[in-house]
Copies of this chain bind each other. A is one copy, B any other.
Amino acid sequence: MKEITLGIDIGGTNTVFGAVDLDGKSYFEGRIPTPEYKSFPEFVQKIHSVLGDLIQNLNFPHKLIGIGIGAPNGNFYTGEVNLAPNLPWKGRLEVAKEFSEVFGLPTWVTNDAKAAAIGEMMFGAAKGMRNFIVITLGTGLGSGFVVNGDLIYGHDGFAGEFGHVIVHPDGRMCGCGRRGCLETYVSATGIKRTVYKLLADNLEPSKLRSVSFDQLSADMISKAAKEGDQIAIEAFEYTGKILGSKLADAVAICSPEAIILFGGLAKAGELIIDPVKKHMEENLLPIFRSKISILQSGIHGSNGAVLGAAALAWKQLGYSVKS
């Protein structure tokens, strides 16, 4: 009888889910469009029915033992999602309670970046590590800090907002209402803003001059940089410089073994890792130099968020990392 957990990643556009065993093997992946469900209970019922069909098709003896959920603003302590700007249902959603009741399984909730960190610890690049940081580089910048083998949730469950440490007090406007937050520079959106600033400040020809802000994507910038586009290369250098210098501060606090980059922009590989590493090293206290790895996510395929959410359930059920 194989034990499996369900991982559910609730996103503004799609909600993706799967079944994952303790080796990190994923057995299927389901997907529903999040905004199509008028109420949150209706949404949960739909996932229950789609998952029920998928699970019935598993052709081996199995036992579902828990559910892990990654959701925007997901709070581990309360199991709730509160005021998530890009979910269709407003107010306070009792996510863990609702799923637990409908599925009859113990359910845990956290935000997507913290789920990613647990995924890296159970199944990815942080296997066997007890002190590391995961930085998720998507539309924004999320983070999960692990110390002594446990995630930092903080007093209220809202720790890990590294995207909102301040780079420049009078810097770029952030969605949080303040200025100069790290994620306004270091994220898929941040590097777009940097490209536009560089196009404004410089005269170099660049294929990116023909792309509108709305059309521009981190992938395009990455592709241009790989083809030698100076503006794109400079944008990665600038992004890495800012992330590297702020990571040096995070290292001074936490002294991690490694920092793992996860998500869309991290797929640029050495384009982003090299400048991050260089500028982090330049800003580290001597005692920390040449000790900390900068790694790409060890979770492969499109289901990283699902694996992370399932890993949360495995961890909370008391299963430790297989090495």
Contact = CB atoms under 8 A, between A and B. Distances in A.
A131 B147 contact: no
A91 interface: no
A252 interface: yes
B286 A152 contact: no
Contact of A253 (B161, B166, B286): B161
Interface string A167-207: 00100000011100000000000000000000000000000
Given A150-B148, A245-B166, A252 B283 contact: no
B165 A249 contact: yes
A154 B256 contact: yes
Given A150-B148, A152-B148, A169-B245, A255 B159 contact: yes
- The size class of the interface chain A forms with chain B is 35 or more
Contacts of A287: 158, 161
A254 B256 CA distance: 14
Interface of A: 129-131, 143, 145, 147-148, 150, 152-162, 164-166, 169, 176-178, 245, 248-250, 252-257, 283, 285-288, 291
8 contacts: A148-B148, A148-B150, A152-B253, A152-B255, A162-B253, A164-B252, A169-B245, A176-B286
